Amino acid sequence: MTIINYIYFGFVGLGVLFSFLRILLGPTSADRVAALDTLNVVLTGTIVFLALVFKNGLYLDIALVYGLLSFTETVVISRYLEGKK
């Protein structure tokens, strides 16, 4: 791995940390859902980057499935919170 990969994973780690903090400390439920969606996008991008680093196409399939499941998760949680009002 090159130095750019380490820099990338460092920034991804910061993104995950800040998203996780917003999930824990978010003042509203909408903030928490937005932070969860951001976390899912960052993790999906990381899986795609791992496919590039390891030169393995299987990671792209995993990223696609994870992206679809995370989108469904966000929609379900948003619908639940919308119906709660």
pLDDT at 31: 92
The sign of the CA dihedral 11, 13, 16, 20 is: negative
pTM score of the predicted model: 0.85
pLDDT at 84: 75
Alpha-carbon distances, residue 50 vs 24, 34, 47, 83 (angstroms):
27, 24, 5, 38
Q: Which residues of the chain have pLDDT under 50?
A: none
pLDDT at 85: 64
The helix (run of H) or strand (run of E) holding residue 67 is: helix 58-84
Buried b (16+ CB within 10 A) or exposed e, 55-71: eeeebeebbeeebeebe
pLDDT at 26: 84
